[in-house]
Structure formats: C-alpha cells, structure tokens
A and B are shown apart, each in its own frame.
Chain A
C-alpha cells in the first residue's frame, strides 16, 4: 500500500523556469491538499481539492496552479519560479477535512525545491 507518493524528491530550478510537482494517492480519498513548509514557519496551505474537477485556494496560492482530473492525482504547477518559492512541498489526502477522532491526513514524503 503506497499511500501518498510525491515526485520528484528534490529539484533545483532557475528563476523563471516552470515545473510540475506530482502527487498521487491509492487510498481512494476524495480530499487532497498541497502544503508548503518554510523553516520555522509550519505548514501553509496552498491549494486543496474535495474531488475530481473541484479545486480551491488555500492561504498562499499565488504563483501556483492545480488541477484534479482524477481521484488519484493532484499535480501542483509552478509557473515562473521565484526564490520565494524555495520550500519543502507536501501533498496530503483524506476522506474529509474533518476526519473524525482517530484519523488524520496522510502525507507524502515531500519535494524539496530550491529556486536559484
């Protein structure tokens, strides 16, 4: 059971380049999320999706785009990369936002992105 899989694990981008961070889950979860973690700043929500074809902005969506064409996949697109997007990106999935006692989001292992 793979859970949530993120690729790539590491990437270095030059300013102005674009890339797509891939995320796929095999738990048939409807809800998927992208968070970024900056040093000492916790996890901030970029975008989320409550099902195929439905996406919504989180706290820090600027500079990113998402799509959700299938239940399994939720790619995050960076257009015109900037140094401020240097961060560790985590994808997560869940049955719902409020998952009930004893459950929580399942996270991938992260993508470490450096923009130079």
Chain B
C-alpha cells in the first residue's frame, strides 16, 4: 500500500518554463514533507521541505506547496534549467518515524 504516490513517471519541460511535479499521500498523520533530487549514479540529495503547519515554502527557484485537505503537495521550479534534469522523489513522515518515499518523477529540461 503506497503511502506516498508520484503518479507521473516522467515530465518534459522546455528550458525557462515552469516545471510542476506532483505528489499525493494517504497517511493523514504525515506532518513533514520533503523533495529529493537524484542524478544518475549518485545518492539522493535534499532539495526542499515543508512542515504541515505551512502551505508554502520557497528556496530560490524552488517552491513547495502543501494542500493538507487534498493530501497533495507540489514542487514548482521556475525557471527550469537543463541542470534540473534528474529524478525527483517526494518523501514524508510523521513524528518519530523514518521517511517514506514515492517512486519518483524523471524531469527532463529541454534546451
């Protein structure tokens, strides 16, 4: 039973446009949400996070939006750059439990 779902395996976006990656979750106890970025042959690296008391968090070109009522979060990348091409994982946890990861979305930014 997947608690964190990323329903789009891949996404292609033109350089300079907005990339929107989506994530849904089923566990209403989750209170902390993260996005990780992964390049081939490397480990995932932390990108941005948001706690359940907020609905938006920004860090430069990256913004995460959280809709608790819909159990949905999204990552916006503006403007998208070729170096953003990677696999993006959504992750979540509640209290003192390990992170649960989604299956990932492969983003390709086309120059």
Expressed in whole angstroms, the minimum distance between the Cβ of B27 and any Cβ of chain A is 13
Q: Who on chain B is nearest to A43 by CB? A: B101
Expressed in whole angstroms, the minimum distance between the Cβ of B44 and any Cβ of chain A is 5
- Most B CB atoms within 10 A — which of A58, A98, A102? A98
CA distance A105 to B46 in the complex (A): 7
* Interfacial chain A residues near B51, Cβ < 8 Å: 100-101
A102 touches B101 (CB 8 A): no
CA distance A40 to B44 in the complex (A): 15
* Interfacial chain A residues near B57, Cβ < 8 Å: 101
Q: Decide if the interface of chain A is mainly helix, strand, loop or mixed.
A: loop
* Interfacial chain B residues near A109, Cβ < 8 Å: 41-43
Q: Who on chain B is nearest to A109 by CB? A: B43
Sample of 11 more A-B contacts, CB < 8 Å, known A97-B95, A97-B98, A98-B32: A42-B89, A42-B101, A43-B44, A44-B101, A90-B43, A96-B96, A98-B93, A98-B97, A101-B32, A103-B49, A110-B42
CA distance A11 to B30 in the complex (A): 36
B44 touches A90 (CB 8 A): yes
A33 touches B49 (CB 8 A): no
The answer to whether the Cβ of A12 comes within 8 Å of any Cβ in the partner chain is: no
CA distance A70 to B89 in the complex (A): 30
